[in-house]
C-alpha cells in the first residue's frame, strides 16, 4: 500500500476506531476479575473472528486469555503481536476519578493508554488489510499482565512457535521511541518464623521474627550493593509486617521486596543469594518466596534488525522509528530474554499510566495504526 492509501484507509476506519476504543475502556477489567475478563474476551472474539482462522480462549482462574491466528497471503513467517486486556483500575474508576473523555487530541479513561488502545491498533490494521497482501500474525491477549502474568507466562512462550519476531503493544517512551530491552523485575516475599514468648517474663525463650527480619533486610541490602558495584540493581522494600502486641515476642514477620535488574548476570547473582539466606538467630526460619518474575531483556542483534524493519516502514510514511531500553518490565521480557527478535512500545504516545492522569494522544494512535498497517503489508 502507498502512504496515501494507508492514510485514506485509516480515515475511513477512524470513526469505528474511536467507537471501539471507548467500548473497550467502558468494560472495566481489573486484574484477576474472571467475569470482567470473560466479558472483554467475548467482545474481542466477536471483532477478530471475521479476520482469523482461529480464536482460542484459554480460561484460567485469573480470567480469559485469547490466542488469535490471522493467516497471511505471503510466505513470510508470522509476527506475534502481544497485548493484555487487564488494567490496574478497580470497578468504579469510570464513574469516579478516571471518566472517559475526549478533549481535542487527548483521550482519557481507565486503561485507555495501558493498553486497550494497543488492542484497537492491532484490529484496525488487520481490518484495513483484510483483502490485501499481508503478513500472517498471531495475537496473544492475556488477562493478567498487570500482576506479573502468573497464569500466562508459559502461554506467552508457547506462542513463539514459528514466529519471526514479537511486537509488544505497551506504551512507548514519552517521545514515541520504541522499547528495545527492558529491565528484569522480580517481586518476592521474605518470610521469617520465630518463637513467641512473654516479652518480660521469659524473653530468652522467644525468637523475635521482627528482629530477624530487620537483620535479614540489612543482609539483602548488602547483597544488592555488592551486585550494584558493577551493574545497577534497584531494590525497594515495599511492605513490612509482623507481630501483634508489644508484650509478646513476635513469632512471624515478612517483607515484600521489589527488585529491578538491567542484566541477567546481576539478576542471577542476587536471586541465587536471596534464595540461600541463612537465619542469624538460632531457632529462626527464613524463607524467600518468589511472587512474580520477569527476566531481564537486553537488546540484541535480532531486536535491532526488527527495529530497522519497522523503521523502513515508518520512513515510507514520513514517520521516524527509534528505540532504546526501558526501566519497566512487561511480557516482552519473557520473549526478548530468550533471544527472539522483539520490540515493545507499539502503543500510542500519552502518559499517566496507572494514575488518574492516564491519557493518550489521538494523533499518535492514528500514526501507530498507519505504521502497523504498512509493516504488515511489506
Return the number of other C-beta atoms located less than 10 Å from residue 242's C-beta.
20
pLDDT tens readout for residues 129-163: 999 999 999 999 999 999 999 999 999 999 999 99
How confident is the model at residue 116, as a pLDDT?
A: 98
How confident is the model at residue 378, as a pLDDT?
A: 80
Lookup: cell for 174: 514519552
In words, the CATH class of domain 184-294 is alpha beta
Assess whether 114 carries a catalytic annotation: no
Which position among 28, 86, 114, 127 bears the catalytic label?
A: 86
pLDDT at 182 over 90: yes
Confidence band for 112, pLDDT divided at 50, 70 and 90: very high
In 3-state terms, what secondary structure has residue 303? helix
Which position among 145, 263, 309, 358 bears the catalytic label?
A: 145
pLDDT at 207 over 90: yes
Q: In the predicted model, what is the mean pLDDT of residues 166-185? A: 97
Confidence band for 75, pLDDT divided at 50, 70 and 90: confident
- CATH entry 3.40.630.10 includes domain 3-182+296-377: yes
Assess whether 193 carries a catalytic annotation: no
Q: What is the residue-averaged pLDDT of the chain? A: 96
Residue 101 and residue 108 in contact, taking contact as beta carbons nearer than 8 Å: yes
Greatest alpha-carbon span in the chain: 85
Q: Beta strand pairing status for 323-326 and 178-182?
A: parallel
In 3-state terms, what secondary structure has residue 285? strand
How confident is the model at residue 243, as a pLDDT?
A: 95
CA distances from 225 to 48, 135, 231, 240 (A): 49, 47, 10, 21
Confidence band for 74, pLDDT divided at 50, 70 and 90: confident
Helix 3-26 crosses helix 34-48 at what angle (to 10 degrees)? 150
Q: In the predicted model, what is the mean pLDDT of residues 261-274? A: 95
359 sits in which H/E element: strand 359-361
Distance CA 79, CA 376 (A): 9
pLDDT at 8 over 90: yes
Helices (DSSP H) in 159-229: which residue ranges? 209-228
How confident is the model at residue 82, as a pLDDT?
A: 98
pLDDT tens readout for residues 333-369: 999 999 999 999 999 999 999 999 999 999 999 999 9
Percent of the chain whose pLDDT exceeds 90: 97
pTM, rounded to two decimals: 0.91
pLDDT at 303 over 90: yes
Could you tell me the residue ranges of all domains in the chain?
Answer: 3-182+296-377, 184-294
Lookup: cell for 314: 515508518
Closest CA to 377 of 113, 73, 53: 73
The label of the residue with cell 515476642 reads 249
Lookup: cell for 104: 481535542
CA distances from 8 to 12, 220, 346 (A): 6, 57, 21
Lookup: cell for 19: 467507537
Distance CA 160, CA 162 (A): 6
**DSSP character string of 65-112:** EEEEEE--SSSSPPEEEEEE--BSPPTTTTTTTS--EEETTEEE-TTI
Residue 21 and residue 116 in contact, taking contact as beta carbons nearer than 8 Å: yes
Amino acid at each position: 500500500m502507498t502512504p496515501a492509501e494507508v492514510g485514506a484507509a485509516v480515515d475511513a476506519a477512524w470513526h469505528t476506531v474511536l467507537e471501539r476504543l471507548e467500548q473497550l475502556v467502558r468494560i472495566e477489567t481489573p486484574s484477576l476479575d474472571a467475569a470482567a475478563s470473560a466479558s472483554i474476551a467475548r467482545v474481542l472474539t466477536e471483532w477478530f473472528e471475521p479476520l482469523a482462522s482461529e480464536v482460542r480462549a484459554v480460561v484460567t482462574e485469573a480470567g480469559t486469555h485469547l490466542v488469535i491466528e490471522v493467516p497471511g497471503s505471503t510466505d513470510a513467517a508470522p509476527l506475534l503481536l502481544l497485548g493484555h486486556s487487564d488494567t490496574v483500575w478497580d470497578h468504579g474508576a469510570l464513574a469516579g476519578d478516571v471518566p472517559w473523555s475526549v478533549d481535542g487530541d487527548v483521550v482519557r479513561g481507565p486503561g485507555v493508554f495501558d493498553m486497550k488502545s494497543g488492542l484497537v491498533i492491532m484490529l484496525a490494521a488487520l481490518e484495513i488489510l483484510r483483502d490485501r497482501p499481508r503478513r500472517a500474525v498471531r495475537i496473544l491477549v492475556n488477562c493478567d499482565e498487570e500482576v506479573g502474568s502468573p497464569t500466562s507466562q508459559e502461554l506467552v512462550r508457547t506462542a513463539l512457535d514459528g514466529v519471526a519476531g514479537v511486537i509488544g503493544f505497551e506504551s512507548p517512551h514519552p517521545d514515541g521511541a520504541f522499547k528495545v530491552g527492558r529491565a528484569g523485575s522480580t517481586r518476592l516475599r521474605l518470610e521469617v518464623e520465630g518463637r513467641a514468648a512473654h516479652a518480660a517474663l521469659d524473653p530468652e525463650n522467644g525468637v523475635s521474627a521482627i528482629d530477624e527480619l530487620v537483620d535479614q533486610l540489612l543482609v539483602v541490602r548488602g547483597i544488592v550493593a555488592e551486585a550494584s558495584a558493577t551493574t545497577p540493581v534497584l531494590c525497594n522494600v515495599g511492605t513490612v509486617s509482623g507481630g501483634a502486641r508489644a508484650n509478646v515476642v513476635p513469632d512471624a514477620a515478612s517483607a515484600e521486596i521489589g527488585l529491578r535488574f538491567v542484566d541477567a548476570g546481576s539478576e542471577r547473582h542476587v536471586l541465587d543469594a536471596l534464595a540461600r539466606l541463612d537465619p542469624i538467630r538460632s531457632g529462626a526460619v527464613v524463607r524467600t518466596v518468589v511472587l512474580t518474575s520477569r527476566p531481564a531483556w537486553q537488546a540484541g542483534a535480532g531486536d535491532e534488525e526488527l527495529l530497522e524493519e519497522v523503521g523502513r516502514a515508518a520512513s515510507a510514511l514520513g514517520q521516524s522509528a527509534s528505540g532504546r531500553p526501558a526501566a519497566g518490565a512487561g511480557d516482552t521480557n519473557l520473549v526478548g530474554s530468550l533471544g527472539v527478535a522483539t520490540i515493545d512500545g507499539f502503543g500510542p504516545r500519552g502518559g499517566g499510566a496507572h494514575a488518574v492522569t492516564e491519557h493518550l494522544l489521538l494523533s499518535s494512535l492514528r500514526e501507530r495504526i498507519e505504521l502497523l498497517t504498512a509493516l504488515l503489508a511489506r
